[in-house]
Structure 1
Amino acid sequence: MAHHPSAKKRIRQTKKRTRINRTRTSRIRTSLKKVETAIAGGNKAEATDAFRSLQPELMRGAARGFVHRNTVARRLSRLSARIKSMSA
């Protein structure tokens, strides 16, 4: 258990950041699942819409630093290629 005021403050800050990051990660995962289900369902229009809403979420995660930017680029690239290869 922390005894110094600065250590107590760090614990409070860590709890707050963890809660925020979990929320953001959850939002990204939900958006990813929407894209995946649309691709699996074969609905190109729905997949495109879901992909457009996923892009800013992932980019925001990269900007905030809790998702690596190369991971974001790789995921977006692969999903985009899968959507483009779908038949209209």
Structure 2
Amino acid sequence: MPNMKNAKKMVKVNKKRTVENNNYEATMKTAMKKVEKAVAANDKEQAATNLKTAIKTIDKAAAKGVVSKNYVARNKSRLTNKVNEMK
């Protein structure tokens, strides 16, 4: 248990940040799964629109510092390649 005033505050702040980070990560992973699902269903138009949304969401998570830039680059590349292979 924290004893100092600033340590008590940081416990609250860390909880809040953890919740926000989890939300960003969940949104990002959901967007990525939508692209995967559209690719599996062989729906080119849906995959392309979902890819746009997924890239936007992934970039937002990276800007907030939720995920690393290497994670972002790797996943954007993989998703883009999967969608491009359909065409």
Asked if these proteins are the same fold (TM beyond 0.5), I'd say yes
Structure 2 unmatched runs, 5+: none
The corresponding residue for 1:79 is: 79
Report whether the alignment pairs 1:2 with 2:2.
yes
Distance apart, 1:63 and its partner CA:
1.1
Distance apart, 1:66 and its partner CA:
1.1
Structure 2 length-normalised TM: 0.95
Distance apart, 1:16 and its partner CA:
0.5
Distance apart, 1:76 and its partner CA:
0.8
Q: How does 1:44-63 map to 2 (within 5 A)?
A: 44-63=44-63
Paired residue type of 1:36: E
Q: Report how many aligned residue pairs link the two structures.
A: 87
The corresponding residue for 2:25 is: 25
SS at match of 1:2: coil
Structure 1 length-normalised TM: 0.94
Paired residue type of 2:39: I
SS at match of 1:67: coil
Distance (Å, rounded) in 2 between the aligned partners of 1:22 and 1:14? 12
CA RMSD of aligned residues (A): 0.8
Greater length-normalized contact order (CA 8 Å, ≥ 6 residues apart): 2
Structure 1 unmatched runs, 5+: none
Identity %: 34
